[in-house]
Structure 1
Amino acid sequence: MKRERRIKIIATLGPASSTPEMCAKLFAAGVDVFRINMSHTQRETLPEKVAMLRALEGQFRRPVGILADLQGPKLRVGAFGGDGGVTLENGARFTLDSDPTPGTVKRVHLPHPEILTALEPGHTLILDDGKLRLVVEKASETQAVTRVVVGGRLSSRKGVSLPDTTIAVSAMTEKDRSDAEAAAEAGVDWIALSFVQRPEDMADLRKIVRGRALALAKIEKPQALNRLEEIIEASDAIMVARGDLGVEMPLEKVPGTQKRITRMSRRMGKPVVVATQMLESMITSPVPTRAEVSDVATAVFEGADAVMLSAESAAGQFPIEAVTMMNRIAEEVEGESVYRSILEAQRAEPEATGADAIAKASHEIADTLNLKAIAAWTSSGSTAFRLARERPNSTVIALTPNRATARQLTLVWGVHSVVTKDASDVDDMASRACKFAVREKFAKLGDRIIVVAGVPFGTPGATNMVRIAFVAKEHVEKA
């Protein structure tokens, strides 16, 4: 199976996409990576879901990526007495405190002492996904007295967002730690950490995963932007999670923030995913709005590695139509005459390493000669990551002996993975690269391709050779 686009599509599993038959239809429609949301998944059922998705590999003879998305800390107010809620008036005083008794129109329990400790006068609290807004006037370790700026109905256990406050607590809860261990044990390819604030949060995740999966940081808190470069450096990939980001910062700042995160991730060679509400109307409609189509197109033009569907594929009425539409948008945008010029304008200079120099040279050779494919022999996947950073006009065929590497690369822009034994020598390297380029329908008799590898073979991170290979009759026959 060959995709006709470079950007990848992630789809979330859920009630609308929980059967092997539906997952097969979604993969055929264009899904590259399936997301398992641990907020709605029991650890005990995780191996079953992973096994169901792995079965697709035999059916389609292609690697299938799996992303486990950890829930993260859910900050909520306590319970109210009476009918379970109150109405807060604009300008009123409202206190959040450590008293566990039922709340009233004057106060409510905040069962998170770490928040009360961190709050300061002037800090904003956003309740119930942005519906209510409070500003702290006085704060202590046991209570925070606030003024209601935007009032409304507040019910028991509604969410609390803190755009101005850095909480001295890890982004990982005990549930997340347990889920991360279960996900790594089940053999997922990527694990995403929610509500990352600092690079140390990603270090916590890596200690648990211990190299069994790659770590993805979800940027959904404004505090993360203060240490964005460090967080990207500490992560294997980044997600622009616009839902919570749009709650905790002014909505008009989200598009610029999305571009900033995308471009910094690309510059640092880390895959970047754009997520949340991309085709939201397709939860209940078979066609998206024009604005949603434009939103997806913007992510493609920006050179994001992947775009993600959440409720559209998990609980929507039209999951296959949503994936098909996203696939069509991506193919159309990548065929636009201005697409390449926009990508080229955003290219960053390579790092001063041999591997990055080889990646840049491969890109320029392939573009100059208008070659269809760059075949990269890679064990760890680092060669393919570097080539993808260059955003070449040629498809990157990642030839790897490691099935785990092939699966991880399903998230990376423009990479088509093939699992095969490692090359034995330079001639074998070129010959089999040509054979696979033909077999996977990226080249034909008489074409030339670029071959990138590291010598000695099988040594991770040793990319040091680039070669132009000619597709001969023998390669076509072997394919």
Structure 2
Amino acid sequence: MPNRTFQNTKIVATLGPASDSYETMLEMVRAGVDVFRINMSHGSHEVAARQIETITKLNKDYKINIGILADLQGPKLRVGQIENNSLELQPGDILTFVNEKCVGNSEKIYMSYQQFAADVEVGEKVLVDDGKVGLEVVETNNIDCVKLKVLFGKELSSNKGVNLPDTHVSLPALTTKDIEDFDFLMTQPVNWIALSFVRSPKEIKDLKERIKRFQHQACVIAKIEKPQAVEKIEKIVKASDGIMIARGDLGVEMPIEKLPGIQKRIIALCVQYGKPVIVATQMMDSMITNPSPTRAEVTDVANAVLEGTDAVMLSGETSVGAYPVETVRAMNRIIAEAEKNYPKNHIRPYPSPKSDTFMSDVVCFNAAKTAEELGASAIIGMTAQGYTGFKISSYRSPAEIFIFSDRKEIAGMLNLVWGVRCFFYDGFNTTDETITEVLHILKSKNRIKSGQTVVFVGSMPLKTRGMTNMMKVALVE
């Protein structure tokens, strides 16, 4: 696409009223967007279908592969309506939460979580409105009524979110709304589905099985926003196809000063296991209303890039903000500058001989190593399922990564992955003929030049699926 620069670190932008027209989305793509996020918490299925249709049209019109990520709402807990929309609070006040709908006041307040009284225990903390109000459980009848003492906060407003950092919530991973949204998404060409408030690897495996039953190709992203997920992070990374560090709820549920260390650890784990990772929430938050980011936001984005994240995400900045295109453009500039200082000696753990994919992993590992030692300009891979792209990316090679696939959905999926540029290709003749053809394609797109060295990886024979067993070094003629 003309007027577009490409960075290794990808940009995910959330669609909303400020950004879901064809013209605005096109300008956002030109500014640097690689994946659009559809937030199923807001809007109808009709709105989501229209957004997905627009992305698909953009991809077709401009022969690009912008990915589509659909984000399920998950079990979001809320208080109900409050009389006059506000209840003044003082530390020491006692509030009563009930599970029967009512207009809240100083006597009682509706809580949407029906098992609240059964799940909480005396002494546990309850946080409301992104942590602006702190409460402590002082009494529960284990059925339908909980008394809480106000620890801090000045007012409680209607429909504010509730976080239970100390409580093992018994809600299922998928709510009734999530299942309805999921069934709708199975009729759409989405590449990624994000599961909210993940607590265990089993929830990821269950969602994958559900997708498999629909014979859909969507991959699953685990959103890390609960302490229980942080405790089981390595198992969750292994079970998922990708990870989103959702710092909003995570920063409410855990001490906020722990977030930077948690983010760094999760990114390192994802790179180690070859799973794409997204850093999300408040990355350029001030640009919802301002035309330029704060210095702290610039540093936040740059640090995520330097830590090795695959993607950085924009939420309200592009969905409801006043400057959606300008925000993407600013983020792209920050990424480009940060990548000039990207660590040159990236640690590449040697593939495990115990892995089922050991042969493919060794080929990809050595492709990255060979490309670096030869000063190759590109690693070119052929893939049917995307695995080659994921694995080569995880080695963070300084060479460009170009992946060819005969499945269009793979191209959109890999657009989230660090450094990967994917192209649709369904020729797959002999190995030598295919190499000649893909080199011609890349030369015609000005991605490689005559005289450059490239490293080619794939399977032999080329139509073999699920196995990368061949590496070839070639000189571009």
TM-score category of the 2 structures, normalised to the smaller one: over 0.9
Aligned to 1:360: 365
Aligned to 1:93: 94
Equivalent of residue 264 in structure 1, options 262, 269, 279: 269
Segment drifting more, 197-206 vs 28-37: 197-206
1:287 aligned counterpart, secondary structure: coil
Measure the CA separation in 2 of the matches of 1:99 and 1:4.
53
Q: Which residue identity is paired with 1:312? A: E
Equivalent of residue 63 in structure 2, options 61, 64, 67: 61
Identify unmatched segments of 5+ residues in structure 2: none
Equivalent of residue 233 in structure 2, options 213, 224, 228: 228
Q: CA deviation at 1:147?
A: 2.2
Aligned to 1:207: 209
Residue 44 (structure 2) pairs with residue 42 (structure 1): yes
RMSD of Structure 2 on Structure 1 (CA): 1.7
Aligned to 1:423: 428
Measure the CA separation in 2 of the matches of 1:46 and 1:107.
37
Asked whether the 8 Å contact 2:75–2:171 carries over to 1, the reply is no
Identify unmatched segments of 5+ residues in structure 1: 473-479
Aligned to 1:152: 154
Segment drifting more, 22-31 vs 92-101: 92-101
Asked whether the 8 Å contact 1:434–1:449 carries over to 2, the reply is no
Residue 309 (structure 2) pairs with residue 304 (structure 1): yes
Q: Which residue identity is paired with 1:263? A: A
Residue 385 (structure 2) pairs with residue 380 (structure 1): yes
Query: Percent of aligned positions with the same letter in both sequences?
Result: 40
Measure the CA separation in 2 of the matches of 1:117 and 1:456.
59
Q: Which residue identity is paired with 1:116? A: A
Equivalent of residue 16 in structure 1, options 18, 26, 44: 18
Asked whether the 8 Å contact 1:434–1:470 carries over to 2, the reply is no
Aligned to 1:117: 118
Aligned to 2:165: 163
Residue 303 (structure 2) pairs with residue 286 (structure 1): no
Aligned to 1:219: 224
Measure the CA separation in 2 of the matches of 1:62 and 1:8.
15
Q: CA deviation at 1:106?
A: 4.4
Measure the CA separation in 2 of the matches of 1:349 and 1:115.
47
Evaluate the alpha carbon distance shift between residue 418 and residue 132 of structure 1 in structure 2; reply closer, same or farther with a 3 A threshold: same
Asked whether the 8 Å contact 2:401–2:419 carries over to 1, the reply is yes
Segment drifting more, 424-433 vs 50-59: 424-433
Q: Which residue identity is paired with 1:174? A: T
Q: CA deviation at 1:84?
A: 4.3
Q: CA deviation at 1:102?
A: 4.2
What is the aligned length? 467
Aligned to 2:174: 172
Q: Which residue identity is paired with 2:206? A: D
Segment drifting more, 455-464 vs 101-110: 101-110
Asked whether the 8 Å contact 2:375–2:453 carries over to 1, the reply is no
Evaluate the alpha carbon distance shift between residue 144 and residue 320 of structure 1 in structure 2; reply closer, same or farther with a 3 A threshold: same
Q: TM-score, normalised by structure 1?
A: 0.93
Q: Which residue identity is paired with 2:472? A: R
Q: Which residue identity is paired with 1:154? A: L
Segment drifting more, 217-226 vs 39-48: 39-48
Aligned to 1:476: none
Aligned to 1:340: 343
Matches within 5 A, 1:121-140: 121-140=122-141
1:452 aligned counterpart, secondary structure: strand
Evaluate the alpha carbon distance shift between residue 468 and residue 325 of structure 1 in structure 2; reply closer, same or farther with a 3 A threshold: same
Asked whether the 8 Å contact 1:164–1:223 carries over to 2, the reply is no
1:340 aligned counterpart, secondary structure: coil
Q: Which residue identity is paired with 1:397? A: F
Deviations 1:8-56 (A, max 9, x none): 1111111111211111111111111111111122112332221111111
Segment drifting more, 179-188 vs 406-415: 179-188
Q: CA deviation at 1:288?
A: 0.8
Measure the CA separation in 2 of the matches of 1:102 and 1:61.
53
Q: CA deviation at 1:422?
A: 4.3
Measure the CA separation in 2 of the matches of 1:47 and 1:90.
47
Measure the CA separation in 2 of the matches of 1:27 and 1:44.
23
Measure the CA separation in 2 of the matches of 1:244 and 1:362.
39
Evaluate the alpha carbon distance shift between residue 3 and residue 398 of structure 1 in structure 2; reply closer, same or farther with a 3 A threshold: farther
Q: TM-score, normalised by structure 2?
A: 0.94
Q: CA deviation at 1:101?
A: 4.7
Q: CA deviation at 1:105?
A: 1.9
Aligned to 1:324: 329
Segment drifting more, 164-173 vs 303-312: 164-173
Q: CA deviation at 1:100?
A: 4.2
Segment drifting more, 358-367 vs 209-218: 209-218
Asked whether the 8 Å contact 2:6–2:32 carries over to 1, the reply is no
Asked whether the 8 Å contact 2:382–2:405 carries over to 1, the reply is yes
Q: CA deviation at 1:471?
A: 1.1
Q: Which residue identity is paired with 2:208? A: R
2:278 aligned counterpart, secondary structure: strand
Q: Which residue identity is paired with 1:394? A: A
Q: CA deviation at 1:86?
A: 2.4
Q: Which residue identity is paired with 1:39? A: S
Measure the CA separation in 2 of the matches of 1:399 and 1:302.
28
Deviations 1:316-338 (A, max 9, x none): 111111111111111111112xx
1:411 aligned counterpart, secondary structure: coil
Q: Which residue identity is paired with 1:351? A: S
Segment drifting more, 219-228 vs 71-80: 71-80
